[in-house]
Amino acid sequence: MPITELLERNAREYANDVALVEINPEIKERRRVTWKEYELMEPNPLEHYRREITWNVFDEKANRFANLLISRGIKKEDKVGILLMNCLEWLPIYFGILKTGALAVPLNFRYASDEIQYCLDLADVDILVFGPEFIGRVEEIAEEISRNRLLFYVGENCPSFAEDYTAMVANCSSRKPEIVVKDEDNAAIYFSSGTTGFPKAILHNHISLMHSCKVEQNHHGQTREDVFLCIPPLYHTGAKMHWFGSLISGGKAVLLKGTKPEFIMDTISKEHCTIVWLLVPWAQDILDALDSGAIKKDDYELDQLRLMHIGAQPVPPSLIKRWMEYFPHHQYDTNYGLSESIGPGCVHLGVDNIHKVGAIGVPGYGWEVKIVDENGTPVAQGDVGELCVKGPGVMTCYYKNPEATNEILKDGWLYTGDMAMQDEDGFIFLVDRKKDVIISGGENIYPVQIEDFIRCHSAVKDVAVIGLPDKRLGEITAAIIEVKDGYNCTEEEMNQFCLKLPRYKRPKKIIFADIPRNPTGKIEKPKLRKIYGAERLVEEQNKA
């Protein structure tokens, strides 16, 4: 069935249960109000600090927006863009679009004006819904993009070049629109990370979205009693598809606007969260804050928290070992996926396999996996090859890009571009991105292996290993290292530490600098290669 029917079921069966909560601790922090002071306030002056809606109101809001879109001529297969920070309006808008039979097109909140316009044009977007954080960027291109599309604004003080979403939906019917949506209908367009240039448009249908709901609940066993803490941006498949576990179970979810360790721990404690999905940097920050005493575990109510899981990037085993030392009674899972496979879950570790930390796991619910060589032939167990996945969550295509589609989709198999190997127990380990493999003197070097080693150093907060140009070897390995606050580390000390690595894996260059990551937590290696690759070329030229 289409995913919209899950929302409608929840509105019927759990009408008055809380569906979504929005927490904005930045407001409380700016006004220096403690939790206790906040709870005692009457009337509450921090009206936007915490907002919530029930399943019934959620569905009504989705219906109102759907009816607004229909009144503006939106029909099946049209596209509506969403450019919003996480907020209580985000998901009702998303489902309102789906109820019309149109496609939801979420946009990355970090896009510059030219990237916004590029994506709107690529996906043939008819209406763009945007929030206050994007007024400046949208205004730069408003004259151009408004020639053939409408602009709806969500927030206070609507700019003159857009229409006021709140005022418009207030006058729309809350009844379900009479539009027939089928499983095989297209549902959404997501965009690739764009780490190799402008992003590609990834087309998914309702079958994909429904499968991600089933995968999430199968892997993590959500019930109506669970409370899911959602921190990553909803435009990304990872956050939304993990939230689908709340949707299919009728459980509550909390949208937290902020990633500071104290924000996360406060919210888990006060909202009685049972499941949290973290990115590696946030888990690292929490552990560092606990180590330093900046936050204290005993200050929070954590007995109800049953599961912490991580995805979106390779997870250092050392990080999880540290986490389990602080939280030995929590379940843990790693989730692997791509936007092309409707986000996380095509491979997962499984909560019972903590002894295999370091692996991404085994094929997920309803998924098949194979590892192949450059000719598409499955490799022997233990050998490195490209990871391929197959299942109901594979994208339909790259929208309007048949050449790129044919490169990645072959006989129903999605070629992920990730290099992996399978151990004797059938667990899959990521070795590296195919494009990130360093070839030095004819030897393949996989950066993730070096990064996992360097992260074991007590002073290291984050690390990225990249290849830099070299006349003699083709490439050399360089380790860009971000040091923890309050710690010191020298190049000589790090080189001494790396002597434990095989000689060919030892970084030839050590650089101390911040590690840039995108909103989904992935290290932006193309940016690092551009910065330090150019510097290396200058070095080579000076030597010559």
Judgement on whether residues 103 and 252 belong to the same structural domain of the protein: yes
CATH code of residue 325? 2.30.38.10
- Residue 453's closest CA among 399, 497, 405, 503? 497
Judgement on whether residues 54 and 191 belong to the same structural domain of the protein: yes
Judgement on whether residues 358 and 479 belong to the same structural domain of the protein: no
Judgement on whether residues 245 and 383 belong to the same structural domain of the protein: no
The sign of the torsion formed by the CA atoms of 134, 177, 201, 429 equals positive
Amino acid identity, residue 49? Y
Calculate the average pLDDT of the chain.
89
The sign of the torsion formed by the CA atoms of 425, 427, 429, 433 equals positive
Cα 520 to Cα 261, 322, 422, 513: the distances in Å are: 17, 22, 26, 20
For residue 266, being part of any structural domain is answered with no
Report the predicted TM-score, pTM, of the whole model to 2 decimal places: 0.82
- Residue 17's closest CA among 59, 55, 62? 55
Residue-wise pLDDT for 398-435, tens only, equals: 999 999 999 999 999 999 988 899 999 999 998 766 67
Residue-wise pLDDT for 445-501, tens only, equals: 878 889 889 988 989 999 999 988 876 677 889 999 999 988 999 999 999 999 988
Q: Which of 410, 433, 456 is the last residue of a domain?
A: 433
Q: At what angle do helices 90-99 and 4-13 cross, to 10 degrees?
A: 110
- Residue 87's closest CA among 245, 254, 229, 227? 254
pLDDT value for 34: 47
Interatomic CA distance for residues 191 and 266, integer angstroms: 32
Q: Name the least confident of 40-44, 211-215, 264-268, 367-371.
A: 40-44
Judgement on whether residues 428 and 486 belong to the same structural domain of the protein: no
Q: Could you give the 3-state DSSP secondary structure of residue 319?
A: helix
Judgement on whether residues 94 and 75 belong to the same structural domain of the protein: yes
- Tell me what percent of the residues of the chain surpass a pLDDT of 70: 90
For residue 290, being part of any structural domain is answered with no
What token pair was written down for 18?
């809380």
Judgement on whether residues 413 and 459 belong to the same structural domain of the protein: no
Q: How large is the average pLDDT for residues 506-528? A: 84
pLDDT value for 45: 43
CATH code of residue 40? 3.40.50.12780
Residue-wise pLDDT for 56-88, tens only, equals: 999 999 999 999 999 999 999 999 999 999 999
Number of structural domains in the chain: 3
The pLDDT confidence band at residue 193, using thresholds 50, 70 and 90, is low
Judgement on whether residues 230 and 365 belong to the same structural domain of the protein: no
pLDDT value for 195: 44
Judgement on whether residues 329 and 376 belong to the same structural domain of the protein: yes
Which residue's entry shows tokens 């764009």? 194
Residue span of the structural domain in which 357 resides: 307-433
Q: How large is the average pLDDT for residues 290-297? A: 94
Judgement on whether residues 418 and 400 belong to the same structural domain of the protein: yes
Residue-wise pLDDT for 8-24, tens only, equals: 999 999 999 999 999 99
Total residue length of the chain: 544
For residue 270, being part of any structural domain is answered with no
Judgement on whether residues 347 and 446 belong to the same structural domain of the protein: no
Judgement on whether residues 99 and 227 belong to the same structural domain of the protein: yes
Cα dihedral 421, 426, 428, 431, rounded to 10, equals -20
Q: Which of 407, 433, 459 is the last residue of a domain?
A: 433
For residue 287, being part of any structural domain is answered with no
SS (H, E, C) 202-231: EEEEHHHHHHHHHHHHHHHCCCCCCEEEEC
CATH code of residue 532? 3.30.300.30
SS (H, E, C) 114-146: HHHHHHHHHCCCCEEEECHHHHHHHHHHHHHHC
The pLDDT confidence band at residue 505, using thresholds 50, 70 and 90, is confident
